[in-house]
Structure 1
Amino acid sequence: MGLFNRIKEPIFLKESSNAEIQIEKLKALKPLLNPEGQNIIEQDIKHLEYGIVGEKNIAFELKNSHMTMYILHDVYLEDGDISAQIDYLVFTKKICFVIECKNLYGDIEINSAGDFIRTTDFRGRKKKEGIYSPLTQNQRHLELMKKLKVDNKNNILTKFVVGKYFEDNYKSVVVLANPKTILNAKFAKKEVKEKVIRADQLVKYIKNMYEQSKEIGVSDERLLEWAQSFLELQKEMLKDYTDKYEQYKIYKDKAVKSIQKIIPTVEDKKATTIIVKLPVEETEIFKELKAYRLNKSREENIKPYFIYNDKQLKDLISKMPRNNDELQAVAGFGELKINKYGNDILKIMSKY
């Protein structure tokens, strides 16, 4: 009952961010790269740090809203090869707000076609460029959320009801977190304009949407269950950008992208190490883990990628985990998957 005693104020059920952990990983990797790679990774670190600042601005607004809500920050959802990284899910008694945070520099214009155009000023010269629509990105998040909720229902009628009324209970909103950004949406369509706001407008926006909603508010207990249902769907995944720096490394990686063969020489009959470069797909560990995935999928009558897809398989080999804690750092491996397949996978990994 402790949570319900605090329900008059916002409660973060998940406040941590994987981006902060990722920054530490990139900082540790930086000294192992050549100068060109260090320049690239430094820019990536700055972009991640910039994004974190924007998300903290939103967290500040939500914490000071004095509203009844549960909040999930940095939620990763996955269904086969489809995934979504959602900045914030904010659950009120009527609506779940799906928030995409954009800490954009420059001024943003949304034209009548719904295109996002950014204008930047560098030493007196203005530059205009189109950017990927965050509304489109957030709509894809909503579609995955809907699919997961429908698929988790047990009977056809319940699936139909959840699918039909999903849009009434879930609303997309893009929040521009940089206070210096100027938003020009005067030519945008009404349905687009209403979904893009500044961070200092967020609390007012949520309150207005809540008051205008004709939905019946759920109980405190049901509200918590609603938020926890997505917390349970959350996958523990770290975004791994390390593959892109492979070409800049100045040391031999332990990731099994090369193998060593010990060959005795005729002259001195001593062992000489020869490094034979192989694509990761041709290594023995890749083949064994792929065979395990196939056999397991046939046993359970599911698609192989439900266990882990090829990208996750490569991440598994790159990190070479030796226990469950290290396995959690691999893309796509949450508690449920580790409990189900972890022992088998670690047994295979221990051979290499």
Structure 2
Amino acid sequence: MGLFDRMKEPVFLKGNSNAEVQIEKLKALEPILNAEGQNIIKQDIKSLEYGIAGEKNIEFELKNSHIPMYILHDIYIEDGELSAQIDYLVFTKKICFIIECKNLYGDIEINSSGDFIRTMEFSGRKKKEGIYSPITQNQRHLELMKKIMTDRKNNIFTKYMAGRYFEDFNKSIVVLANPKTVLNAKYAKKEVKEKVIRADQLVKHIKEVYESSKVAADSEDKMLAWAQSYLDLHKAVEKDYTGKYEQYKINIITPRKQDEEVLTPVAERSTITVGEVPVEETDIFKELKAYRLDKSREEKIKPYFIYNDNQLKDLISKMPRNKEELQTVSGFSEVKANKYGDDILKIIKKY
């Protein structure tokens, strides 16, 4: 069977990323932090956005490859105490490509020892620093995949065969997603050079490795089953990304009961009125707050991750008529506006 058969285009079986959810949670938290906390969280958001931008570059290359293959993005697998967060798994009829995305600032040099050295320029001065090898990082992902697959076999012989030929069917690729990055691997060993490429070389690399492989091509059904077996292993882990920012929250203590104290963020204490009525007592405030609570229970997240009270007041103050106007409201990015916009705008139109 050739590379191009009945299935003509790549198919994403999983395309979303956990990092996008993390960014939304951090953006919702930002308004209730002090100045120091906001500086820290802005840098963390920027780093996450930069990583997502790199993965989007890879996604673009894969989507426009016109290669029949199945793709899994942002897969988390674990076995006992071992775990791996894999950027992309790309399944062809012969080979699974395990892709580690690096959207790095600066230029990258790989020396004869396999060390990764980054050079960055600040105010006309160049600075060099060693970075953790993404090849080593990706190799650990492969080792965990190999362990899980061999452990699933029923007898000693099939376990041996699965381990013996695992590398023939699974190939590691480290992709440098920043188009401005210059890669210098002149002195790197051949086996290292073959594992590190730029994003614009990804499709060509996949085709070349596929065509040169002596492994027999499977059917499209088996290719799908192969990809599905890893999708079934994926675990959507609920992580708390907000713990490190607790010390930066701005709080006051408001007595509610004789034996209870409740922390109320300062960012949510401003008083807004609609006519002569405090905004908190209006029907629209109550309905939008009820909607927030329902969605938070549905998604198993804290209500203020969707929007906090301060953002809710800004929402009522601006009364947006469409998703573009909704993005002018504090805390509403394009992603959040698309996710919750239809429901929110429907409520607003009633008032």
**1:98 corresponds to:** 98
**2:206 corresponds to:** 206
State the Cα deviation string for residues 5-28 of structure 1 (Å, max 9, x = none): 972210100011111111000001
Normalising by structure 2, we get a TM-score of 0.71
**2:349 corresponds to:** none
- Match of 1:173, SS? strand
Alignment of 1:337-348 (within 5 A): none
| Partners of 1:57 and 1:199 within 8 A in 2 | yes
- Match of 2:300, SS? helix
- Offset, 1:80: 2.1
Alignment of 1:1-352 (within 5 A): 7-251=7-251, 271-273=258-260, 325-326=299-300
In structure 2, relative to structure 1, the CA distance for the partners of 1:18 and 1:188 (3 Å cut) is same
Identity %: 72
In structure 2, relative to structure 1, the CA distance for the partners of 1:210 and 1:41 (3 Å cut) is same
Distance 1:71 1:16 in 2: 11
Distance 1:250 1:153 in 2: 54
- Offset, 1:166: 0.7
Normalising by structure 1, we get a TM-score of 0.71
In structure 2, relative to structure 1, the CA distance for the partners of 1:106 and 1:157 (3 Å cut) is same
State the Cα deviation string for residues 109-141 of structure 1 (Å, max 9, x = none): 011111111000111011101111100100011
Alignment RMSD: 2.5
- Offset, 1:238: 4.5
In structure 2, relative to structure 1, the CA distance for the partners of 1:171 and 1:138 (3 Å cut) is same
In structure 2, relative to structure 1, the CA distance for the partners of 1:272 and 1:144 (3 Å cut) is same
Moved more, 159-168 or 121-130: 159-168
- Offset, 1:274: 7.4
- Offset, 1:148: 1.3
Distance 1:62 1:272 in 2: 59
- Match of 2:165, SS? helix
| Partners of 1:26 and 1:45 within 8 A in 2 | yes
State the Cα deviation string for residues 218-268 of structure 1 (Å, max 9, x = none): 111100000000000011124543222122222389xxxxxx9x9xxxxxx
| Partners of 1:71 and 1:89 within 8 A in 2 | yes
In structure 2, relative to structure 1, the CA distance for the partners of 1:274 and 1:239 (3 Å cut) is closer
Distance 1:57 1:185 in 2: 22
Distance 1:159 1:237 in 2: 29
- Offset, 1:150: 1.5
Distance 1:239 1:187 in 2: 41
State the Cα deviation string for residues 310-331 of structure 1 (Å, max 9, x = none): xxxxxxxxxxxx968528xxxx
Q: Tell me the matched-pair count.
A: 265
Structure 1 spans left out of the alignment, 5+ residues: 254-259, 263-269, 276-321, 328-352
Structure 2 spans left out of the alignment, 5+ residues: 263-295, 302-351
| Partners of 1:176 and 1:199 within 8 A in 2 | yes
**2:284 corresponds to:** none
Distance 2:232 2:33 in 1: 38
**1:290 corresponds to:** none
- Match of 1:109, SS? strand
Distance 2:211 2:258 in 1: 77
Q: Which amino acid is 1:165 matched to? A: Y
- Match of 1:211, SS? helix
| Partners of 1:112 and 1:188 within 8 A in 2 | yes
Distance 1:140 1:324 in 2: 35
**1:289 corresponds to:** none
Distance 2:258 2:245 in 1: 32
State the Cα deviation string for residues 163-220 of structure 1 (Å, max 9, x = none): 1111110000000000000000101111101100000000000000001101001111
- Match of 1:167, SS? helix
